[in-house]
């Protein structure tokens, strides 16, 4: 399948397995993703899509195998370097993970604050990203007062604001109707065009199939079943 | 830094009730501790005053002669921080006594010989504690020609023993209250931490360092400690002002007793300790949570 050698690989997995209590969530995955690729990870619920994303940003450690991110071996990353690794990723979590009691603005700004950016830059950049996801008018709102679609757009804004080289989005259209899903995908696509690598996990392939161009990796029961190019 | 302070203040505002309870508990502990300190500082000063600023009397044996004087003076001088040595011969002493107890002069006149010893009256320089005087007196006693040394050890010593007992009780109480304050702060930080579990998780996932995550909690703990300390001292000051104005007026007719508020050094120390308490409580609970 993936026989040709890629030159600019940014994510490489070698025989990666992940077990939860002895049960495989990922089984012997080999993957080579090039800088700037757009990847759709599809498969039924429980296939291991979220797990695949989680091992990339070290929310979970692999049980076997190795992962290289931009040449860095994840097994070797010390806890003090972990934050630096994570700043390369922009993550959209399946459950959003917005901080309650913090405004939309604060939820997005936290990425830049954590990276030690200057206040002036933070203010400008956060508002700019909120505009691209059409959430700038709700900057002062609390997450619990937003609709599901709006929360998702905040989550996407937070993933983009740090200008990461890789976007990992777990069901970013999960709770959305077709129109809002389109809007969310569009803002990610927009960012992708600037050269970012994007991985989107979804069990709802047909919603995205026609919207994006890239590679679809289909997994079932923790294994890669099929890799196809979407046009 | 300002970012962390802003964050901590926001959080204190969000968890107003919890933080107020914490600050209040700390201030109570500080209040108890500083009441003791106030008492000790004043009692210490009063004792010092009663001890006449370190006056020591040295009584000499009968076989003392004037030609021993220079050597003896040198020896005494070498033993401590002495401001002044006055020799009082037995005759002088008798004269003084006669003047002091005129009404009993009949009795004195019947005396065949002077029963009083030669003596030195010594005033000590930079006298700081009774222990110092005690040590000095002990060394004087070892000189052969010295019969006895007196520095008001009798009743003052007894009083000091009670005072020491009081001091120990005070220390025990302070430690107890400090422990309570420590427990409360660390508990508050723990609660604050759990109430911000999602926030901490998100911060980790978006690449915040542990320092960045912990800093607001430390700022919060330190602020709680600081404000708790200040509040405790303010309560003490108000109570002091209310009581002392009445008390001094009532008591001043009987004894010289001027109660002073804590010295600036003690105030700084107390605030420092309570701030440290806030920090330490935070340190303990974060250490426990983030293993
Ligand atoms: N923390 C965990 N502890 C135990 N088992 C887990 C854990 N996380 C995931 N699993 C299991 O691993 C398998 C893969 O889960 P994963 O969340 O990756 O699926 P998914 O493809 O993302 O599914 P969905 O489309 O429903 O999000 C599942 O069988 C799940 O039960
Ligand atoms: Mg999932």
Cβ-based contacts of B208 with chain A (< 8 Å): 83, 110, 113-114
- The pLDDT tens digits for A2-16 are 445 566 889 999 999
The protein residue with its alpha carbon nearest to ligand 1, atom 29, reads A46
- Listed by start position, the domains of chain B span 2-49+164-289, 55-150
pTM greater than the 0.90 cutoff:
no
| Residue given tokens 């992940």 in the structure block | A18
Q: What is the average per-residue pLDDT within A199-211? A: 78
Query: Which superfamily is assigned to A37-47+80-230 in CATH?
Result: P-loop containing nucleotide triphosphate hydrolases (3.40.50.300)
Please tell me whether residue A169 adopts helix, strand or coil conformation.
strand
| Residue given tokens 């508002």 in the structure block | A127
Cβ-contact B29, B181 below 8 angstroms? yes
- The pLDDT tens digits for B10-44 are 777 777 888 888 888 889 888 988 888 888 877 77
- What tokens appear for A200 in the block? 């989107």
Q: What is the average per-residue pLDDT within B168-197? A: 85
pLDDT for position B237? 92
- The pLDDT tens digits for B101-130 are 665 566 666 667 777 888 888 877 655 566
- What tokens appear for B241 in the block? 């002002």
Nearest Cα neighbor of B57 from B79, B85, B33 is B85
E-strand spans in chain B?
A: 55-60, 82-88, 119-124, 146-150
pLDDT for position B36? 84
pLDDT for position A1? 45
- Going by pLDDT thresholds of 50, 70 and 90, the confidence category of residue B51 is low
Does B53 have pLDDT greater than 60? Answer: no
pLDDT for position B130? 66
- H/E run at residue A225: strand A223-230
Cβ-contact B31, B242 below 8 angstroms? no
Provide ipTM, 2 decimals.
Answer: 0.88
CA distance B199 to chain A (A): 5
Q: What is the average per-residue pLDDT within B185-196? A: 85
User: B1-10 long-range CB contacts below 8 Å, 24 or more apart?
Assistant: B3/A113, B3/A119, B4/B215, B4/B216, B4/B219, B5/B219, B7/B216, B7/B219, B8/B216, B8/B217, B8/B219, B8/B220, B8/B223, B9/B223
- What tokens appear for A223 in the block? 């294994």
pLDDT for position B103? 55
B54: left (phi over 0), alpha (psi -120 to 50) or beta: left
pLDDT for position B90? 84
pLDDT for position A151? 92
pLDDT for position B101? 64
Q: Sign of dihedral through CA atoms B88, B89, B92, B94? A: positive
- What is the share, in percent, of chain A residues with pLDDT greater than 70? 95
**What is the DSSP annotation of A110-163?**
HHHHHTT--HHHHHHHHHHHHHHTT-GGGTTS-GGGS-HHHHHHHHHHHHHHT-
CA distance A87 to chain B (A): 5
Cβ-contact B226, B274 below 8 angstroms? yes
pLDDT for position B50? 59
Measure the CA–CA gap between A19 and A164, rounded to whole angstroms.
29
> How many other β-carbons are positioned within 10 Å of the β-carbon of residue A113?
19
Q: Which residue has the higher pLDDT, A230 or B74?
A: B74
pLDDT for position B209? 93
Beta bridge partners of residue A226, listed in sequence order: A218
Query: Which residues lie closer than 8 Å to A218 by C-beta, 6 or more apart?
Result: A41, A42, A43, A224, A225, A226, A227, A228
pLDDT for position B54? 62
Ligand 1 atom nearest residue A44's Cα:
25
Do the bridges between strand A197-202 and strand A38-42 make them parallel or antiparallel, or are there none, so unpaired? parallel
- Listed by start position, the domains of chain A span 37-47+80-230
Does B257 have pLDDT greater than 60? Answer: no
- What tokens appear for B128 in the block? 């700081």
- The pLDDT tens digits for A63-83 are 999 999 988 899 888 988 999
Cβ-contact B208, B257 below 8 angstroms? no
- Going by pLDDT thresholds of 50, 70 and 90, the confidence category of residue B4 is confident
The region of weakest confidence among A52-66, A173-187, B175-189, B197-211 is: A173-187
- Across the interface, of B14, B206, B210, the residue whose CB is closest to A110 is B206
Chain center to CA of B226: 21
pLDDT for position A27? 93
- Going by pLDDT thresholds of 50, 70 and 90, the confidence category of residue B222 is very high
> How many other β-carbons are positioned within 10 Å of the β-carbon of residue B276?
17
- The pLDDT tens digits for A18-66 are 999 989 999 999 999 999 999 999 999 899 999 999 999 999 999 999 9
Cβ-contact A126, A114 below 8 angstroms? no
CA distance A84 to chain B (A): 6
- What tokens appear for B260 in the block? 């002073």
Distance, CA A48 to ligand 1 centroid (Å)?
6
- What tokens appear for B250 in the block? 């009532």
Measure the CA–CA gap between A198 and A214, rounded to whole angstroms.
10
CATH 2.50.20.10 fits B55-150, yes or no: no
Chain center to CA of A128: 20
Q: What is the average per-residue pLDDT within A112-122? A: 92
Chain center to CA of B22: 27
- Going by pLDDT thresholds of 50, 70 and 90, the confidence category of residue B197 is confident
- The pLDDT tens digits for A215-228 are 889 999 988 888 88
- What is the share, in percent, of chain B residues with pLDDT greater than 70? 82
Nearest Cα neighbor of B35 from B174, B128, B197, B193 is B174
Measure the CA–CA gap between A165 and A89, rounded to whole angstroms.
6
Cβ-based contacts of A86 with chain B (< 8 Å): 204-207
Q: What is the average per-residue pLDDT within B167-191? A: 85
């Amino acid at each position: 399948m993936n026989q040709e050698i890629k030159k600019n690989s940014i994510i490489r997995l070698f025989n990666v397995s992940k077990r939860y209590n002895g049960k495989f969530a990922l089984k012997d995955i080999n993957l080579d993703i090039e800088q700037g690729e757009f990847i759709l990870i599809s498969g039924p619920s429980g296939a291991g899509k979220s797990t695949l994303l989680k091992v990339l940003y070290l929310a979970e450690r692999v049980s076997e195998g190795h992962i290289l991110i931009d040449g860095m071996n994840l097994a070797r990353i010390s806890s003090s370097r972990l934050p630096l690794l994570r700043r390369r990723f922009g993550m959209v979590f399946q459950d959003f993970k917005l901080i309650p009691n913090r405004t939309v603005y604060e939820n997005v700004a936290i990425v830049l604050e954590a990276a030690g950016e200057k206040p002036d830059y933070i203010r400008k950049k956060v508002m700019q990203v909120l505009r691209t996801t059409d959430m700038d008018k709700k900057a002062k709102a609390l997450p619990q007062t937003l609709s599901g679609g709006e929360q998702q757009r905040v989550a996407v804004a937070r993933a983009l604001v740090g200008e990461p080289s890789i976007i990992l989005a777990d069901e970013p259209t999960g709770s959305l109707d077709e129109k809002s899903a389109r809007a969310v995908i569009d803002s990610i696509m927009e960012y992708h065009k600037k050269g970012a690598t994007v991985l989107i996990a979804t069990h709802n392939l047909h919603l995205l199939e026609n919207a994006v161009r890239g590679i679809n990796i289909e997994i079932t029961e923790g294994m890669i079943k099929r890799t196809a190019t979407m046009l | 830094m300002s970012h962390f302070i802003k964050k901590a203040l926001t959080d204190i505002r969000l968890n107003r009730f919890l933080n107020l309870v914490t600050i209040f508990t700390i201030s109570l502990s500080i209040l108890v501790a500083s009441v003791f300190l106030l008492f000790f500082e004043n009692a210490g000063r009063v004792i010092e005053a009663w001890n006449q600023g370190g006056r020591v009397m040295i009584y000499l044996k009968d076989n003392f002669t004037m030609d021993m004087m220079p050597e003896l003076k040198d020896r005494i001088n070498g033993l401590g921080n002495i401001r002044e040595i006055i020799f009082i011969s037995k005759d002088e002493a008798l004269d003084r006594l006669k003047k002091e107890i005129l009404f009993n002069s009949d009795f004195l006149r019947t005396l065949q010989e002077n029963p009083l010893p030669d003596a030195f009256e010594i005033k000590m320089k930079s006298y700081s504690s009774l222990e110092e005087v005690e040590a000095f007196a002990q060394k004087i006693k070892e000189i052969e020609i010295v019969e006895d040394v007196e520095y008001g050890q009798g009743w003052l010593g007894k009083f000091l023993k009670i005072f020491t007992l009081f001091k120990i009780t005070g220390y025990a109480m302070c430690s107890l209250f400090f422990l309570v304050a420590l427990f409360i702060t660390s508990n508050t930080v723990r609660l604050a931490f759990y109430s911000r579990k999602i926030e901490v998780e998100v911060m980790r996932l978006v690449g915040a360092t542990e320092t960045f995550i912990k800093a607001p909690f430390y700022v919060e703990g330190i602020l709680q400690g600081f404000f708790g300390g200040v509040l405790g001292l303010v309560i003490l000051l108000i109570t002091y002002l209310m009581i002392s104005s009445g008390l001094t007026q009532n008591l001043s007719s009987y004894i010289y007793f001027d109660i002073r508020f804590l010295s600036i050094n003690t105030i700084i120390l107390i605030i420092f300790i309570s701030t440290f308490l806030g920090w330490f409580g935070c340190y303990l609970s974060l250490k426990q949570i983030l293993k």
